[in-house]
Amino acid sequence: VTTKKHPNGLDYVEINTDLCQASIFLQGAQIDFFKPKDKAPLLWVSSADDYQPGNGIRGGIPVCWPWFGASDIPGFPQHGFARTSLWSLASVKMRNQVVDLVFTLAITEDNKQYWPHDTEVSVLFTLGETLSVSIVNKNNCDYDVNLTQALHTYFPIGDIHQLKATGFTGAKYIEFAKGPYPQEGDEVNFTRETDRVYTDLAPIQHLHTPEGTIEVARENSQSAVLWNPWIDKSQRLSRFNDEDYLTMVCHEAANVLEDQVRLAPGASHTLTTHIRWV
Ligand code: TA6
């Protein structure tokens, strides 16, 4: 585990073990690369992203916190301020060849405008043959605190026209501010812009790609977002090539809508996503 500096200035942690290779940026506590040994990378990043400080990296796992989507406060950034803030690496532990890292975000003068609450937030990574990422929230206020959040994971799926996403039976979803619609069947295929906020969603889905099947599991989350921008939206996205929609999908472990995090004084909550090649 070594700390390095990207040519464009962002600091990151590089992990290289017998089990995997990975890199995690201190800006946003954002992992942009995870490759299990002898397997393909499990995360996708746009080649259009040049890792400029101040932007979230277009790929990997952006941490959306303490709100998902647009803020109802004008001028507040989409998907919260965590992903463009500088986090600290609080601890690194090696258990045999598995690495545990903890990143923390201090609420300071320059970001408490967005979040004027006495809470603690950290992002935990467990890197081995599989990847687990958690957002841990603790409420130190003497009043209830509510937040929405997501681990906005970008997956490499080879060819969107061949992708089959399964495990959606019984869920309902809102899309383009309409719905909720009942999920028809267990499988989702992609033929147009897809931007679904699922609730009542089972904890495990599978992404069946030409390169193999990715399993995405969630803990303490009943909601997830399934997103592919397709052709038109791709052209409105920053740091995203016109062809990028063909090789990626986002499946985002979330706590949004009725699944938002409600923390009583002193309470904690941990959202976790587990990702692996099956
Ligand atoms: O998670 C889906 C979404 O909310 C889309 O609507 C799109 O805006 C995407 O997130 C990317 O947002 P970003 O702010 O990272 O460009």
CA triple 113-149-29, angle to 5 deg: 75
In which region does residue 85 sit, left (phi positive, over 0), alpha (psi from -120 to 50) or beta (all else)?
Answer: beta
The pLDDT tens digits for 204-221 are 999 999 999 999 999 999
Tell me the pLDDT band of 110, cut-offs 50, 70 and 90: confident
| Confidence check: pLDDT of 222 > 90 | yes
Inter-residue contact 250 to 151 (CB < 8 Å): no
Count CA within 13 A, CB hemisphere, residue 278.
12
**Average pLDDT of the chain?**
97
User: CA 97, CA 94: separation in Å to the nearest integer?
Assistant: 6
- φ, ψ dihedrals at 228, nearest 5°: -135, 125
CB-based burial label for 191 (10 Å; 0-12, 13-18, 19+): exposed
User: CA 17, CA 28: separation in Å to the nearest integer?
Assistant: 23
In which region does residue 80 sit, left (phi positive, over 0), alpha (psi from -120 to 50) or beta (all else)?
Answer: left
Candidate from 190, 237, 255 with most ligand 1 atoms within 8 A of CB, to mutate: 237
CA nearest neighbour of 33 among 4, 68, 66: 4
User: CA 159, CA 109: separation in Å to the nearest integer?
Assistant: 45
User: CA 84, CA 54: separation in Å to the nearest integer?
Assistant: 6
User: CA 171, CA 180: separation in Å to the nearest integer?
Assistant: 10
Give the nearest ligand 1 atom to 68 CA: 4
The pLDDT tens digits for 154-169 are 999 999 999 999 999 9
Give the nearest ligand 1 atom to 83 CA: 15
Q: Quick one: DSSP state of residue 231?
A: H
> How many CB atoms are closer than 10 A to CB 24?
26
Asked if the interface predicted TM-score (ipTM) of this complex is over 0.95, the answer is yes
The contacts of residue 155 (CB under 8 Å, 6+ apart) are: 42, 43, 44, 207, 214, 216, 248, 249, 250, 251
- φ, ψ dihedrals at 126, nearest 5°: -120, 115
Give the nearest ligand 1 atom to 238 CA: 16
Residues 8-29 have a mean pLDDT of 98
Q: Evaluate: CB of 227 within 6 angstroms of ligand 1.
A: yes
pLDDT value of position 180: 97
Q: Note the residue count of the chain.
A: 278
Give the nearest ligand 1 atom to 227 CA: 2
Q: Quick one: DSSP state of residue 160?
A: T
The pLDDT tens digits for 118-151 are 999 999 999 999 999 999 999 999 999 999 999 9
pLDDT value of position 80: 98
Distance 72 CA to ligand 1 centre (A): 16
Which tokens go with 24?
A: 């995690």
Cα dihedral 34/35/41/46 (nearest 10): 40
Domains of the chain (ranges plus CATH)? Answer: 2-277 (2.70.98.10)
Helix extents (H) in the chain: 230-234
SS3 state of residue 124:
strand
Q: Whose CA is nearest to atom 2 of ligand 1?
A: 227
Residues 234-250 have a mean pLDDT of 97
Distance 96 CA to ligand 1 centre (A): 37
Residue 265's DSSP bridge partners are none
